[in-house]
Amino acid sequence: SQKIEQNSEALNIQEGKTATLTCNYTNYSPAYLQWYRQDPGRGPVFLLLIRENEKEKRKERLKVTFDTTLKQSLFHITASQPADSATYLCALINDYKLSFGAGTTVTVRA
Amino acid sequence: GAGVSQSPSNKVTEKGKDVELRCDPISGHTALYWYRQRLGQGLEFLIYFQGNSAPDKSGLPSDRFSAERTGESVSTLTIQRTQQEDSAVYLCASSWGSGHQETQYFGPGTRLLVL
């Protein structure tokens, strides 16, 4: 069956450090992968999309990698700030349908 | 401009009652999606609309769930004879089109609690 697994543990890091989140998938062959941020009581907000032929994508302090051989995406938040505290979701795209992981909650301590 | 809005923001109902959840997408967005998010779990796809038609209803959990969309705008998700396992956050999203690279914009969700 198809599975999308993200870090099962919440991530607690010190301000200024880099947070690295993992998204592993099985029985999918996605051409695209997206990362979203979700704050408590709110809907997910789109952050980045990466294509299968792109190894790495950056947006400000965010960096995403996509390894279709390992079936894995890594999401990095560099120079983390308390305002980065949220749950981060990876999503695989099949045509129009998004399939989401359960998310990883990141807490950045000042 | 205005984002996706949903109402009500919270709904508490008794088991066996029917509920209607409303979604107002971003104006001009032709695609609309409903997802369900149970506590501690990822979002589950329920249904997709392109315009007023629903080419994919594959995620609806049972025939107690139905949805419609009118005027390429508002959508209503109806759950009949609610059960306790229906308790979840129901999220609506919309996008300009439905291609691979389209960004889906999510509403804040309706938190449904079935007692």
pLDDT in tens, A3-29: 899 987 799 999 999 999 999 999 888
- C-beta separation of B6 from B61 below 8 A: no
CA-nearest of A34, A23, A32, A25 to A2 is: A25
- Cα separation, A75 vs A40, in Å, equals 20
The pLDDT score that the predictor gives to residue B1 is: 55
- Cα separation, A22 vs A5, in Å, equals 8
For B:76-115, CB contacts with A below 8 A are 91, 93, 95, 98-109
With b for 16 or more beta-carbon neighbours within 10 A and e for fewer, the A48-82 pattern comes to: bbbeeeeeebeeeebbbbbebeebbbbbbbeebee
CA closest to B9 among chain A residues: A41
CA-nearest of B100, B96, B91 to A34 is: B100
pLDDT in tens, A63-84: 999 999 999 999 999 999 999 9
Instruction: Indicate the residue of B31, B42, B106 with minimum beta-carbon distance to A96.
Output: B31
Average pLDDT over residues B47-70: 92
Q: Is B1 on the interface with A (CB under 8 A)?
A: no
Mean per-residue pLDDT of chain B: 93
| Cβ separation A31–B100 shorter than 8 A | yes
